[in-house]
Amino acid sequence: MKNVVRSLIIANVAVFALQQVPGLGNWLELKFSLWPVGSYRFSDVPFPVGFEPWQLVTSAFLHGGVAHIAFNMFGLWSFGRVVEQAIGSVRFTSLYFASVLTSGLLQLLVVSMSSSPIPAQTYGASGGVFGVLLAFGMLFPHARVMLIFPPIPMKAWFMVIAFTVIELVSGVTGTMQGVAHFAHLGGMLGALILMLIWRRRLPPPPPA
């Protein structure tokens, strides 16, 4: 198994292309996005929608626009290739999909505690990408990275902590509506668990 990152990007782009097909795209989002637990009916949808177990995975291949998929695939390409090379393709595949699963599970838990009467679906590869970011920060804590925003260099360990704090604060305070902040944190949690399990079998971080 090689080039998992490339295969994931191809799969995401292919699904996004299908989402642009009139009629098909709407059906894909209704059937394969991550919905809250329960069954819901909408006046403009001819069938009920609700949570299905496969949505924990399929939702990670759907995106809400060009910017959404572009940022996710850029992050996956930028950091995923290095992580895959460091831990191997098999472990990388496990790490990515573990992050996707914990991302979806935490999102379901948070939504179940929400008082919002209108159910909303969640989709996007962000949970997996945030898991990859955390793994990169643990493997190469002293690597210097340059984010798109803000365009300043920082060490990888600082980037991971900064993203964690931003997502946690945004999720708790409800800022940046429409972004699944706890799904991002869930993705990082899944990656953290596996990285701790594997810590004795992974290459040591390079010196600062």
What DSSP state is assigned to residue 64?
S
Instruction: Give the number of C-alpha atoms closer than 13 A to the C-alpha of residue 45, restricted to the C-beta side.
Output: 14
> Hey, which residues are catalytic here?
126, 184
Residue 139 gets the label, from left (phi > 0), alpha (psi -120 to 50) or beta, of alpha
Q: Is-above-0.75 flag for pTM?
A: yes
Give the start-to-end residue ranges of the domains of the chain: 4-198
Domain 4-198 belongs in CATH node 1.20.1540.10: yes
Task: Dump the DSSP string for 9-48.
Answer: HHHHHHHHHHHTSTTHHHHHHHHHSBPPSSEE--TT-SS-
- With cut-offs at 50, 70 and 90, classify the pLDDT of residue 120: confident
Out of 118-132, 143-157, 177-191, pick the least confident: 143-157
